[in-house]
Structure 1
């Protein structure tokens, strides 16, 4: 379990900047009353698609993910688990920002 968390963290580190910027932008526009909650969630999901697109276009998947594949992890499962954890953190941040 600890090894899986460590592998997930190493996989998430290059994506962390983009995920954090998308989360903060959604929360900022939500608190400034320019977005509503469902649209903020949709924007976050679109940002995941954009992150996947940038990763796919800018990096050679065979060389970038060699470490993770060599460790026996499926790249799609890693993306799914990392984005799921990030989405849960986003929902918590969203709920904290809407409490008044």
Structure 2
């Protein structure tokens, strides 16, 4: 289990900037009152889709992620773990930002 967390963290580091930018963008507009929470979740889902699209278009999937594949981890499963962890952080941050 500890090794899975470490591998997921290494995989998440390649997506962390994009995920944090989308999260802070959505939280800022929720805090300003221009978005409601449901739309913030939709923005976050579109952020995940755009991250997947950019990674798919910019990287040749047959030449990347050798480390993760050789370690025996599925790239799709790592995406699920990474986005699940990021979404959990997003829920915590958005709940803290709505407390006034």
Q: What is the TM-score normalised by the length of structure 1?
A: 0.98
Residue 30 of structure 2 is matched in structure 1 by: 30
4+ aligned runs moved over 4 Å, structure 1 = none
Paired with 2:5 and 2:71, the residues of 1 have a C-alpha distance of 13
Q: Secondary structure at the match of 1:62?
A: coil
Unaligned runs of 5+ in 1: none
Q: For residue 51 of structure 1, what is the aligned residue in structure 2?
A: 51
What 5-or-longer segments of structure 2 have no aligned partner? none
Q: How well do the aligned residues superpose, as a CA RMSD in angstroms?
A: 0.6
Task: Work out the CA distance in 2 between the residues paired with 1:75 and 1:69.
Answer: 7
CA distance in 2, matches of 1:88, 1:56: 24
Aligned to 1:62: 62
Structure having the larger proportion of residues in helix: 1
Normalised to the residue count of structure 2, the TM-score between the two structures is: 0.98
Work out the CA distance in 1 between the residues paired with 2:21 and 2:61: 23
Q: How many residues align?
A: 100
Provide Cα deviations, 1:33-88, integer angstroms capped at 9, x if missing partner.
11000000000001000000000000111221111111000000000010001000
